[in-house]
Amino acid sequence: MTYSLFGRTLHKVGVVGSGQIGPDIALFFSKVLAPHGVPVVVNDVIAAALEAGAARTKKKIDKGVETGAFKAEEAQRMAQNITWTADKQALSGCDLVVEAATERLEIKHAIMEELEGILSADAIIASNSSHLEPEVIFAKAKRPERALVIHYFFPAERNLVVEVVPGKKTAPAVADFCMKFYEAIGKVPIRVRSRYGYAVDPIFEGLFQAALLCVEEGVGTTKQVDTVARKALGLGVGPFTAMNLTGGNPITQVGLTHYQTKIMKWFRSPKRLDERVAAKAAWEVPGREERVEVPPELERKIANRLLGAFFGLASEILNSGITNLGDLDMAVETALVIKPPFTLMNEIGVKKALKLVQDYAKANKGFKVAPVLVRQAKKGPWRIPVVFREDQGDVAVVVIKRPRVLNALNLEVYRQLFEEFTAIRKSKKLVGAVLTGFGTKAFVSGADIGMLAAVKGAKEGAATSKKSHEVQNFIEKLGKPVVCALNGLSLGGGSELAYACTARIARKGVRQLFGQPEVKLGIIPGAGGSVRLPRLIDFATAWKILRTGGSISGEEALKLGLILEEVEGDLTARACEVAREIAAGDLQIKPIAQGPIEVPATLPEVEPDGLSRKVDEILRRAILEGAKLPLAKGLANESKLFGEVCGTRDMRIGLENFLKTGLREPARFVHA
């Protein structure tokens, strides 16, 4: 069996190195590729490393079964799909190999030479280096055009982020494939230009250096700094705890030393780090339940130092131009489990952030204040992209990218969508557009629950609904075809956004392609669902879905005419073709009814068990009144009724229950 996508076929993949991270890379590959029958080979020259890697992988798979993450048969298939071997020839036939050996250049060069003698000419060779530039790693490669860095983060089987770092000689098609491939298998790849340390590690290791300098200068203990860092920066674990967990002292020592000449003079390996590496010792950190006391004044002092370093480091990376602001903000948050730097600067004020960086630079020789931060402080908040656009010839592809929340909609997403589609409308070279979501799990998982929870009363509820309508009405009446490419599930506002598009196609086999779960949260659709869905499919079916919080699979959506087709191959490419066909008049799409629509004389009985009778009463009005009104007036009526439902007690009960249980338990509505 094979795994084919984007013009390449994977028959077998390999991992070289069974040390700290190689087995975890292999585990993830096996998880996603075993169902396709694509074997994974792990190679190492040390038998003990192979044994240890296999044992650790088995332990993680068994733990997955225990927690319910894997079914027993799935776990068995994953384990059996990995071969652990010291025989390099076992890598023959691999179409992709990730080298995950130690960060020593002579070893990487030797591995590359061996791989080029074993693999076919078009096989991709990637290095999981955490620092070295691809030009350095592949300096002796005979075919550097098929080689690049793929930098994983700890733990590699669970951490979503990978940095894709092509070298100067890497073929663009190879880098493009890796970006699409890693997105397709569930990772969050960001493209980074070649520079020592790439985009994320200088922030992680630089923040550790800033924390250690606090300790060396007697500002606080390692326990105190860890505690303050977690609170001030939202870290999952403090910098010293993170270093213990990852075993990162040696590689950080090397990285900080090289950053001094590669990035800025402030970087260095502090004395205490050198001592810990020499002694192979861990840092003293807070115990699991230990409460560490930090006086308020000391807490402010440590926090300001760490924030100044954090903001300065992130701004330097952005200023270097090796990646974009949106990807960097998202990657730091996702890979390091820390508050996103530019979002945090916006929260506290960019001018205040600049002052913290300037204060840190004054106290720390060689620390840079990035010009991009100085300029932004004069302008106001950072504009953090969550909607990205890339033109494919005469069709614009618009991608909603918020992977941590499965592309959920908030007011900022709506604002950026309006900006992008305004530009598309004005463009003379564009004949149409494609709207899709990042990844394969979700097109849009719904409205951001934080946005809904912030709504206070009927007036704010109606206003929130109207804002979503403004954007969707604009898309619907763009004057150019907009094809929604449903790359995964859509719920609530995501489904409603898709309904506003000219046409819809979907990745094949999505079990929950459309869904209107609002009633389970104690609300009604507020972005057009109660008005558009009954116009797009059989009224009785829409009536039942809306009132029960039901969903539709891709197969069902095709039968109902809600999508044009299910796609097995490149969904975005097919969506572009459909947009061009519609624009040229080669494909006729029946427009949504703008006037009133007929309501069947009899509708199926629906008993919304466990749901709010008050919300159901308002929803029935929205559906029936919306059908009897022209589309525009029906949408305005929906906004009014959405506001009404936001004034009910059941709305608060439903949202609070969702925030606490994620709908694992039904809300206890009071029907008022």
pLDDT tens digits for 455-485? Answer: 888 899 899 999 999 999 999 999 999 999 9
CATH code (residue 323): 1.10.1040.50
Q: Is 547 helix (H, G, I), strand (E, B) or coil?
A: helix
What single string gives the DSSP state of each residue in 168-228? Answer: TTS-HHHHHHHHHHHHHTT-EEEE--S-TTTTTHHHHHHHHHHHHHHHHTTS--HHHHHHH
Q: Give domain status of residue 588, yes or no.
A: yes
* Number of separate helices (H) and strands (E) present in the chain: 27, 20
What's at 310, amino acid-wise?
Answer: F
Residue 658, pLDDT > 90, answer no
Distance, in Å, from the CA atom of 337 to the CA atom of 307, rounded to the nearest integer, reads 15
pTM here?
A: 0.92
- Domain containing residue 87: CATH number: 3.40.50.720
Is the per-residue pLDDT at 661 higher than 90?
Answer: no
Q: Is 331 within the bounds of a domain?
A: yes
18 assigned to some structural domain: yes
Amino acid making up residue 664: R
Q: What is the pLDDT of residue 426?
A: 97
Residue 5, pLDDT score: 86
**Mean pLDDT of the region 222-244:** 95
Whether residue 431 sits in one domain with residue 315? no
- Residue carrying structure tokens 């004057």: 479
- Cβ(270)–Cβ(217) under 8 Å? no
As a whole number of angstroms, the distance between CA 64 and CA 402 comes to 26
Q: Find the range with the poorest average confidence among 403-412, 501-510, 650-659.
A: 650-659
Q: Do 228 and 171 share a structural domain?
A: no
Q: What is the pLDDT of residue 606?
A: 87
Region 285-290 average pLDDT: 91
| Contact status, residue 522 vs residue 615, Cβ threshold 8 Å | yes
Task: For residue 533, give the 3-state DSSP assignment.
Answer: helix
Same domain, 586 and 633: yes
Do 615 and 650 contact (CB within 8 A), yes or no? Answer: yes
Tokens for 225? 């700094």
HEC readout, 556-596 = HHHHHCCCCCEECCCHHHHHHHHHHHHHHCCCCCCCCCCCC
Count how many domains the chain has: 3
391 bridge partner residues: 396
Q: Which of 191, 211, 235 is the last residue of a domain?
A: 191
Q: What is the pLDDT of residues 186-199, one digit of tens each?
A: 999 999 999 999 99
pLDDT of 451 > 90? The answer is: no
- Look at residues 346, 379, 412 and tell me which one is the last residue of a structural domain: 379
Does residue 345 lie within any of the structural domains?
A: yes
Name the helix (H) or strand (E) containing 96: strand 96-99
Alpha carbon 266 to chain centroid, angstroms: 32
Q: What is the pLDDT of residue 8?
A: 94
Tell me: do 69 and 153 sit in the same domain. yes
Q: Nearest-CA neighbor of 124 among 151, 137, 143, 111?
A: 143
For residues 103 and 214, state if they share a domain.
Answer: no
The boundaries of the domain holding residue 259 are: 201-379
Considering the domain architecture, whether residues 496 and 540 belong to the same structural domain is answered as yes
- Whether residue 372 is predicted with pLDDT greater than 90 in this model: the reply is yes
Q: With a cut of 90, say whether residue 378 has pLDDT above it.
A: yes
**Backbone dihedral angles phi then psi of residue 332, each to the nearest 5 degrees:** -60, -45
Q: Is 669 a member of any domain?
A: no
Distance (Å) of CA 533 to CA 44, 539, 543, 551: 56, 8, 9, 12
- In this structure, what CATH number is given to the domain that contains residue 538? 3.90.226.10
Looking at the fold, whether 488 and 634 belong to one and the same domain comes out as yes
**Residues with Cβ within 8 Å of residue 362, at least 6 apart in sequence:** none
Whether residues 357 and 418 share a domain: the answer is no
Rounded-to-integer distance, Cα 258 and Cα 295, Å? 36
Residue 345 shares a structural domain with residue 408: no
Catalytic residues, by residue number, are 496, 518
234, 302: one domain: yes
50 plus 181 within the same structural domain: yes
Considering the domain boundaries, does residue 361 fall inside one?
A: yes
Asked if the structure places residue 666 within a domain, the reply is no
- Give the residue from 159, 191, 223 where a domain finishes: 191
Q: Is the dihedral of CA 135, 140, 144, 147 positive or negative?
A: negative
The verdict on 307 and 415 lying in the same domain is no
Angle at 638 between CA 634 and CA 643, to 5 degrees: 150
